[in-house]
């Protein structure tokens, strides 16, 4: 016992010396028990009572500290228990024990028996109530056996060397309201200096202007708890702020953030109001801006600036635009009278009001000769070229005025705030008097009696004689001669008789009036046919019938011969095999399936359970193998992220991760997994590769290879003009190879477009997006609604639009559009034409023209893909072969389709039925032929009165004329290029135009 008492006294001295040690508590640790903070006896239960002994000590501040010791090393079979009071777990599912203790080296105690130990055990027992009597050893769960890293000896005591051990253990998961800790001594000499029980939390923090509250960590050692943040005052979500609380009490993987709202800007971790004179219009990361000129913000936190008196800002303008006022009057109005037409020119206003959108409008008044008379509006008969209002140029032509009449013209200046001001616009006026002019065209011609050699005519005077009618001129000619030979006669009255005509001939005639100012324009042509000279006898009629029968028979024979050669020629071209989806299915012979060398695509929708399909075609990946790095986009079903995939024993690879958002429906889950079931069946270097799926944990994920350069259309626009033709052909070859693979598997893509082609860092193009039903239903852009869903019109073959007949041939049509997108560096097919206009244009034979600098063979291949008859289109295997030949022989790519004006096929935007250059007699006739007759006045006002002038037009000239619609600009410019090509050919043949 003497040794035991000595050891006990030594322990008391040792731990009393250690009590001054203070341990800082980390911010992510919450204490639920700390024996060092007890001011009174701890009152823990010892069993047996003489086992563990509670003693007191003092820290350096002489604060009493309670500890426990035990040192019954001289007696064998020790079993001394010490139980703490009931500890509430405070919402934690896992707690940590920090034990500080000293332990005597058994070998340093003289006369010690072999039963001395140098370890002790720690236990815990959960309960929902603190009313637990006694210590029932069988109810306790062992935490661990604790051994000292350092033990002290008699020598340490003499040298006053202190050896304090600290051990930390975790306990969990806990489910009940609280628990007891118990310490078991089996024959050691121990001083339990302090016991601290705590749990970890992620402390409250502000990240990305979002507040994340204190969050207790999870029960599992690897669990992450997702926490939704709340935006700070005066801010709004840009993307839902989220972070993950780790088991170590650290915040990980911040996703989303908040931005300061209108009228507020970021200041550290909060949003502060904009100062007076500053504003912020929309929520965002930007700072407050100073109010633009002639506006102010009188209060803090302004989202807009108010205009000063007399200044205005349209509602459609952003707040960054300065307030403005109406312009001053235009100046220096100059008039130039030409008979009954007036050309007005003026200079811009001296003061524009602070805006650039100054426009002009013309007010026309007809005034009497007497000074006292009142002026009246000119009326609708007067024409203004290019228009009467919203003029952007400082000139206008006024036509169809009355001769010898006084007019007053007011030129009003306006800008974007003129209507807001409520003040009449300022103007400059000029008075003019028209001259004598030729009469207007005659519009009412009546045909009288017609015989075999004569016709009687009557007509009305011109609506605008512009003076005294002196006489009329009648011009007539045989219709088929088209004015190459004609006859004229004069009449002093509004009627005449034409004689000397041929029997049974169609004639055309025109009439014009003459005054002292000269002839007016001819009336529109009026056609008539003279009567036959005689009636044929029955025998002659019979003979005529025989002749016509013979002619008909000859025509039929010629048609049959022509059809035979056409069919034979087609067989020598692309294969005419039908490509209906039903006909592309595996053929059956004598009840057996004829299996090709390639596996066939299986539609996952044929499976009743989508999980069966996805597990058959896709590999299940363990969620622990996937690490999400960042969010790179948003899909229909959830977020699209980039991250890494690390299989055990394999190299880590970068992947793209599609997630299925929470709250999904069963149908959404089926659609989400369907795309994986489709991708899992494909294995080709030009098809996006499926790495696997995660379906056994949430969120459900689809893992694919990561394509660094994203979608092909955006990649091309970003790198406009940066690649060689061979590089572009190489991209097209890769896409064609991928589509050949899909076609060989009897898979029809239905939505082939540059946006659905992905590009990796080596410029390898891969076909992606196999979720057609989602695209068709959810893409309101560039889609045309039919009874069966939505179709991307600009990329879809006409038979698929009209009859929903999707085949590999319709994919070939779409591939032709992709070729056009690639060669035009991502330009939008058919520009700004509406979907209905695109459908109509394709049906009428329109095709896209060659992009700038596009080689002729490539554009010809596009045209082959756009054949109306799907059986005339090439197969993908043929396309791959053609592109391979181009790559092996780059010289064939040196001829530019867009640069060769003599190549007719390069002008495929226009309908090929439009007549050639030599068929037009005037600019007006040409505009009518290409259905652009609405721009006749624009061309006339700009001085383009002959076709020789028109063929010199370029794109800048067309804009200058006043043609603003992009589609109309392209159509007119393409027709000009076609006429230029015809003109070159005519000159080459020695024909002068």
468 is in an annotated binding site: no
Which pLDDT tens digit goes with each residue over 938-949? 999 888 888 888
SS3 for 862? Answer: helix
DSSP annotation string for 709-746 = T-BHHHHHHHTTT-S-HHHHHHHHHHHHHHHHHHHHTT
The pLDDT > 70 percentage for the chain reads 84
Residue-level pLDDT at 91: 83
Quick one: which of 730, 724, 805 has its CA closest to 765? 730
SS3 for 985? Answer: helix
**Does position 874 have pLDDT exceeding 90, yes or no?**
yes
Residue-level pLDDT at 776: 36
Residues in CB range of 918: below 8 A, 6 or more apart: 982, 986, 991, 993
Distance separating alpha carbons of residues 902 and 925, to the nearest angstrom? 23
Residue 950 and residue 976 in contact, taking contact as beta carbons nearer than 8 Å: yes
**Does position 228 have pLDDT exceeding 80, yes or no?**
yes
144 annotated active-site: no
Distance separating alpha carbons of residues 58 and 65, to the nearest angstrom? 6
Greater pLDDT, 796 or 664: 796
Quick one: which of 685, 686, 684, 621 has its CA closest to 658? 621
**Does position 107 have pLDDT exceeding 70, yes or no?**
yes
Distance separating alpha carbons of residues 592 and 349, to the nearest angstrom? 87
E-state strands within 45-140:
45-47, 53-58, 64-71, 80-83, 87-88, 95-103, 119-127
53 is in an annotated binding site: no
384 is in an annotated binding site: no
Alpha-carbon radius of gyration of the chain: 47
638 is in an annotated binding site: yes
Mean pLDDT over residues 867-871, rounded?
92
E-state strands within 368-523:
376-377, 383-385, 395-399, 406-414, 427-433, 445-450, 455-459, 471-478, 487-491, 495-498, 506-515, 518-519
pTM for the full predicted model: 0.40
SS3 for 560? Answer: helix
32 is in an annotated binding site: no
553 is in an annotated binding site: no
pLDDT band at residue 565 using 50, 70 and 90 as cut-offs: low
Which pLDDT tens digit goes with each residue over 408-446? 999 999 999 998 888 899 999 999 888 777 788 998 999
The pLDDT > 90 percentage for the chain reads 44
Quick one: which of 258, 327, 273, 342 has its CA closest to 303? 273
pLDDT band at residue 790 using 50, 70 and 90 as cut-offs: low
**Does position 976 have pLDDT exceeding 90, yes or no?**
no
881 is in an annotated binding site: no
637 is in an annotated binding site: yes
Run of H or E residues at 857? helix 856-865
Q: Which of 751, 769, 811, 864 is catalytic?
A: 751
Task: Indicate the angle between helix axes 808-823 and 876-888, nearest 10 degrees.
Answer: 30
923 phi and psi angles, rounded to 5 deg: -65, -40
22 phi and psi angles, rounded to 5 deg: -105, 140
Distance separating alpha carbons of residues 639 and 702, to the nearest angstrom? 11
Residue-level pLDDT at 988: 39
634 is in an annotated binding site: yes
DSSP annotation string for 219-270 = SSTT--EEEE-EEPTTEEEEEEEEEEE-TTS-EEEEEEEEEE-TTEEEETTE
**Does position 745 have pLDDT exceeding 80, yes or no?**
yes
Residue-level pLDDT at 59: 57
The alpha carbon torsion through 5, 7, 8, 13 (nearest 10 deg) reads 130
End-to-end CA distance of the chain: 134
Mean pLDDT over residues 919-930, rounded?
83
Mean pLDDT over residues 193-211, rounded?
92
Q: How far apart, in Å, are the Cα atoms of 967 and each of 597, 841, 866, 932, 933? A: 48, 12, 20, 11, 15
Residues in CB range of 555: below 8 A, 6 or more apart: none
Which pLDDT tens digit goes with each residue over 84-106? 999 998 888 899 999 999 999 88
Which pLDDT tens digit goes with each residue over 593-630? 334 444 688 888 888 777 788 888 899 999 889 998 88
230 is in an annotated binding site: no
Quick one: which of 574, 597, 577, 596 has its CA closest to 586? 596
């Amino acid at each position: 016992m003497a040794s035991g008492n000595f050891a006990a006294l030594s322990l008391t001295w040792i731990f009393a010396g250690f009590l001054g040690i203070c341990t800082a508590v980390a911010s992510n640790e919450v204490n639920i028990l700390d024996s060092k903070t007890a001011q009174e006896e701890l009152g823990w239960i010892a069993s047996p009572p003489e086992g563990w002994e509670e003693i007191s000590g003092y820290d350096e501040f002489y604060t009493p500290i309670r500890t426990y010791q035990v040192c019954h090393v001289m007696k064998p079979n020790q079993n001394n228990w010490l139980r703490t009071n009931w500890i509430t777990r405070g919402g934690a599912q896992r707690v940590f024990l920090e034990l500080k203790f000293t332990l005597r080296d058994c070998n340093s105690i003289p006369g010690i028996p072999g039963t001395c130990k140098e370890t002790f055990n720690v236990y815990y027992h959960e309960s929902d109530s603190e009313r637990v009597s006694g210590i029932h050893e069988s109810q306790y769960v062992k935490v661990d056996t604790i051994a000292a890293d350092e033990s002290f000896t008699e020598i340490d005591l003499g040298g006053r060397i202190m050896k304090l051990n600290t051990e930390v253990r975790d306990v969990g998961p806990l489910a009940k309201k609280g628990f007891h800790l118990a310490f078991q001594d089996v024959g050691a000499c121990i001083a339990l200096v302090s016991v601290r029980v705590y749990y970890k939390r992620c402390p409250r923090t502000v990240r990305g202007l979002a507040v994340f509250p204190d969050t207790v960590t999870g029960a599992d050692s690897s669990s992450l708890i997702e926490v939704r943040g709340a935006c700070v005052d005066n801010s709004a979500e840009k993307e839902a702020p989220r972070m993950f609380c780790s088991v170590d009490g650290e915040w990980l993987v911040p996703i989303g953030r908040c931005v300061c709202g209108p009228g507020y800007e970021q200041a550290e971790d909060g949003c502060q109001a904009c100062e007076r004179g500053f504003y912020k219009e929309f929520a965002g990361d930007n700072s407050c801006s100073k109010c633009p000129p002639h506006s102010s913000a009188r209060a803090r936190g302004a989202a807009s600036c108010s205009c000063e008196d007399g200044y205005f800002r349209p509602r459609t303008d952003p707040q960054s635009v300065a307030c403005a006022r109406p312009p001053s009057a235009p100046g220096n109005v100059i008039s130039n009278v030409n008979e009954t037409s007036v050309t007005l020119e003026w200079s811009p206003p001296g003061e524009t009001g602070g805006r650039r959108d100054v426009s002009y409008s013309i007010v026309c008044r007809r005034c009497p000769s007497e000074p006292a008379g009142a002026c009246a509006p000119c009326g609708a008969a007067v024409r203004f070229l290019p228009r009467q209002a919203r003029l952007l140029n400082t000139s206008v032509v006024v036509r169809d005025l009355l001769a010898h009449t006084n007019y007053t013209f007011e030129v009003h200046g306006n800008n974007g705030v003129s209507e807001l001001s409520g003040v009449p616009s300022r103007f400059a006026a000029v008075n003019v008097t028209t001259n004598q002019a030729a009469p207007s065209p005659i519009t009412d011609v009546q045909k009288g009696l017609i015989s075999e050699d004569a016709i009687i005519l009557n007509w009305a005077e011109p609506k605008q004689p512009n003076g005294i009618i002196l006489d009329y001129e009648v011009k007539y000619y045989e219709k088929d001669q088209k004015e190459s030979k004609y006859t004229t006669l004069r009449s002093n009255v509004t009627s005449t008789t034409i004689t000397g005509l041929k029997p049974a001939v169609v004639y055309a005639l025109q009439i014009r009036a003459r005054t002292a100012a000269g002839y007016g324009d001819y009336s529109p042509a009026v056609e008539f046919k003279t009567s036959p000279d005689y009636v044929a006898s029955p025998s002659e009629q019979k003979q005529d019938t025989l002749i016509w029968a013979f002619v008909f028979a000859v025509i039929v024979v010629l048609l049959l011969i022509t059809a035979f050669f056409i069919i034979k020629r087609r067989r020598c071209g692309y294969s005419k095999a039908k490509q209906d989806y039903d006909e592309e299915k595996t053929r059956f012979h004598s009840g057996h399936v004829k299996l090709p060398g390639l596996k066939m695509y299986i539609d996952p929708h044929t499976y009743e359970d989508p999980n069966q399909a996805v597990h058959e075609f896709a590999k299940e990946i363990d969620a622990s193998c996937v690490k999400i790095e960042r969010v790179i986009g948003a899909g229909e079903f959830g977020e699209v992220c980039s991250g890494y995939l690390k299989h055990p024993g394999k190299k880590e690879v970068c992947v793209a991760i599609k997630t299925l958002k929470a709250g999904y429906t069963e149908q959404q889950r089926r659609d989400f997994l369907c795309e994986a079931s489709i991708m899992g069946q494909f294995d080709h270097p030009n098809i996006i590769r499926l790495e696997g799926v995660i379906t056994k944990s949430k969120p459900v994920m689809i893992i694919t290879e990561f394509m660094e350069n994203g979608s092909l259309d955006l990649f091309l626009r970003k790198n406009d003009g940066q690649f060689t033709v061979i590089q572009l052909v190489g991209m097209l070859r890769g896409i064609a190879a991928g589509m050949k693979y899909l076609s060989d598997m009897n898979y029809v893509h239905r939505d082939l477009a540059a946006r659905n082609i992905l590009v990796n860092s080596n410029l390898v193009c891969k076909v992606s997006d196999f979720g057609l039903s989602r695209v068709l239903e959810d893409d309101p852009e560039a889609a045309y609604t039919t009874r069966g869903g939505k179709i991307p019109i600009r990329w879809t073959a006409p038979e698929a639009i009209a009859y929903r007949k999707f085949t590999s041939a319709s994919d070939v049509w779409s591939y032709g559009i992709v070729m056009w997108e690639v060669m035009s560096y991502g330009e939008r097919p058919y520009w700004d034409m509406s979907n209905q206009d695109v459908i109509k244009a394709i049906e009428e034979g329109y095709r896209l023209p060659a992009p700038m600098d596009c080689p002729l063979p490539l554009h010809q291949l596009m045209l082959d893909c756009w054949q109306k008859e799907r059986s005339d289109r090439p197969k993908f295997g043929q396309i791959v072969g053609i592109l391979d030949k181009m790559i092996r022989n780059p010289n064939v790519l040196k001829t530019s389709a867009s640069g060769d004006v003599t190549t007719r096929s390069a002008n495929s935007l226009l309908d090929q039925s439009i007549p050639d250059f030599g068929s037009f007699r005037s600019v007006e006739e040409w505009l009518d032929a290409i259905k652009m007759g609405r721009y006749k006045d624009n061309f006339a006002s700009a001085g383009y009165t002959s076709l020789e002038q028109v063929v010199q037009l370029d794109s800048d000239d067309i804009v200058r004329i006043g043609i603003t619609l992009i589609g109309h600009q392209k159509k007119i410019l393409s027709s000009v290029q076609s006429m230029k090509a015809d003109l070159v050919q005519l000159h080459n043949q020695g024909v002068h135009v």
